[in-house]
């Protein structure tokens, strides 16, 4: 199937399935007979057919790149899928790539010690390559020119960071494009569509994601937490250790995410602010987030809240009032002015 035919097929109502089936029927006339057979017999016939096609690849010396998007949806079949790749021709003729939107690194490229196919690799020429994670596409839609580079203009600032924000801003069919883009950014930070008017939605992961976008947080590289934040809360991988045991992450400085984080932090007139601070305190006590040698994270939060308060009102605001009763009770009473 040519590239043009593939693209055209995806635009049809029944997507690509009927096109693939048509090609398959052309290549194997007896497909109707196979589907009528018992499962085991039909599966065996399919294996034979695939082996014939693989042998053709060997003869032609064709090079194949197989990309499987949302590979995590394979579930328990993911391991079987990887092992089936050992049937591919030897040499450099075949390369498979698995991708996932909300999958942790361990789902698609397990640590070497945990990789169930490690023994199989000793007897074959195939390898699980190091994960591909550094894709430099930030700021590619940022506009450069007279007046267009003014980042204080929200319509320009939204173009910095991931290409998603500018692409969505330009394509969304609503009057208030900026608000629609920020609503999308909030959903991405939350990891799913949550009604923030209700209670109980602030958890440790969301608290880390929100504060990280505004004040920056150093998250440990071990365990499931950093990978969960990358998979579902917009954190970015900056390095993966060779043994794939440690994943170093960071929260990129993106105006869209910073604005969305501020909206979540101050939702319903700061109704959830104390809960955000509580959850952040929990992860700091657990050693999952590093608070800094001298507690720099506290200073960052105080300055950030002061900035947010000053942008809401021109009136002078005492520090004690700014921090609120929750923080004053923790030993900040008397900090006024």
pLDDT tens, the chain, 337 aa long: 444 554 455 455 455 556 555 655 565 554 444 445 554 555 666 667 667 766 776 676 667 777 888 777 776 677 677 777 666 666 656 777 778 777 777 777 776 666 555 555 555 555 667 787 877 778 888 876 645 556 677 888 888 888 889 989 988 888 899 999 999 999 999 988 888 888 889 999 999 999 999 998 999 998 889 989 998 999 999 888 888 888 999 988 899 999 999 999 999 988 999 999 999 999 998 989 988 777 788 888 998 988 888 877 555 544 444 444 444 454 444 444 3
DSSP summary character for residue 323: H
- 175, two tokens: 């009057």
Distance CA 267, CA 26 (A): 58
Q: What share of residues in the chain are helix, strand, coil (percent, to 5)?
A: 55, 5, 40
Q: Residue 266 domain-assigned?
A: yes
| CB-CB contact of 103 with 134 (8 Å) | no
Residues 93 and 198 both lie in one domain: no
Tell me which residue of 280, 31, 217, 172 sits closest to 182, measured CA to CA. Answer: 172
Q: Residue 168 domain-assigned?
A: no
Residues 209 and 86 both lie in one domain: no
Q: Residue 35 domain-assigned?
A: yes
Of 85, 102, 122, the last residue of a domain is 122
Q: How crowded is the C-beta side of 236, counted as CA atoms within 13 Å?
A: 17
Radius of gyration of the chain (CA): 26
Q: Residue 180 domain-assigned?
A: no
Give the DSSP H or E segment for 28: none
pLDDT, residue 256, reads 92
Sequence-ordered list of residues with C-beta below 8 angstroms from that of 226, at least 6 positions apart, any chain: 219, 220, 235, 247, 248, 249
Give the DSSP H or E segment for 96: strand 94-98
Q: What angle do CA 43, 72, 115 make, to 5 degrees?
A: 85
Residues 198 and 328 both lie in one domain: yes
**Scanning the structure block, which residue is given the tokens 């006024």?**
336
Range(s) of the domain holding residue 274: 194-332
Tell me which residue of 205, 215, 222 sits closest to 302, measured CA to CA. Answer: 215
Give the DSSP H or E segment for 66: strand 64-68
DSSP summary character for residue 162: S
| CB-CB contact of 139 with 116 (8 Å) | no
Residues 199 and 116 both lie in one domain: no
Using N-to-C axis directions, what is the helix angle for 319-327 and 296-312, rounded to 10°?
120
pLDDT, residue 180, reads 93
pLDDT, residue 332, reads 45
Q: Residue 183 domain-assigned?
A: no
| CB-CB contact of 244 with 109 (8 Å) | yes
| CB-CB contact of 262 with 214 (8 Å) | yes
Number of domains in the chain: 2
Distance CA 261, CA 210 (A): 5
Task: Report the C-alpha dihedral over residues 180, 184, 186, 192, rounded to 10 degrees.
Answer: 140
Of 64, 99, 122, the last residue of a domain is 122
Residues 203 and 295 both lie in one domain: yes
Q: Residue 161 domain-assigned?
A: no
Outline where DSSP puts E strands in 222-337.
Answer: 236-240, 247-250, 289-290
DSSP summary character for residue 147: T
Residues 317 and 220 both lie in one domain: yes
Tell me which residue of 286, 301, 285 sits closest to 217, measured CA to CA. Answer: 301
pLDDT, residue 30, reads 47
| CB-CB contact of 263 with 274 (8 Å) | no
pLDDT, residue 337, reads 38
Residues 104 and 198 both lie in one domain: no
Of 122, 138, 153, the last residue of a domain is 122
- 210, two tokens: 């929100």
């Amino acid at each position: 199937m040519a590239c043009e035919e593939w693209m055209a097929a995806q635009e049809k109502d029944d997507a690509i399935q009927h096109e693939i089936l048509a090609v398959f029927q052309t290549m194997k006339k007896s497909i109707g007979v196979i589907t009528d057979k018992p499962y085991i017999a039909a599966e065996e016939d399919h294996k034979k057919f695939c082996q014939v096609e693989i042998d053709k690849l060997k003869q032609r010396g064709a090079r194949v790149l197989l990309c499987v998007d949302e590979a995590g949806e394979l579930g328990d079949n993911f391991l079987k899928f990887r092992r089936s790749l050992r049937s591919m021709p030897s040499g450099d003729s075949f390369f498979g790539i698995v991708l996932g939107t909300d999958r942790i690194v361990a789902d698609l490229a397990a640590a070497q010690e945990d990789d169930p196919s490690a023994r199989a690799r000793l007897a074959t020429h195939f390898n699980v390559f190091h994960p591909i994670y550094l894709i430099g596409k930030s700021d590619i839609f940022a506009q450069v020119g007279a007046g267009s580079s003014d980042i204080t203009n929200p319509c320009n600032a939204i173009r910095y960071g991931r290409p998603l924000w500018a692409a969505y801003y330009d394509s969304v069919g609503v009057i208030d494009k900026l608000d629609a883009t920020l609503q999308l950014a909030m959903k991405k930070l939350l990891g799913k569509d949550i009604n923030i008017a209700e209670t109980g939605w602030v958890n440790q992961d969301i608290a880390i994601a929100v504060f990280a976008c505004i004040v920056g947080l150093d998250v440990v590289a071990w365990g499931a937490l950093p990978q969960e934040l990358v998979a579902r809360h917009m954190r970015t991988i900056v390095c993966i250790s060779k043994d794939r045991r440690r994943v170093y992450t960071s929260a990129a400085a993106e105006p869209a995410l910073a604005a969305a984080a501020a909206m979540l932090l101050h939702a319903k007139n700061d109704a959830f602010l104390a809960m955000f601070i509580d959850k952040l305190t929990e992860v700091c006590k657990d050693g999952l987030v590093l608070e800094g040698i001298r507690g720099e994270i506290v200073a960052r939060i105080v300055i950030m809240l002061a900035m947010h308060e000053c942008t809401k009102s021109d009136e002078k605001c005492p520090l004690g009032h700014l921090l609120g009763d929750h923080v004053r009770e923790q030993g900040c009473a008397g900090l006024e002015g």
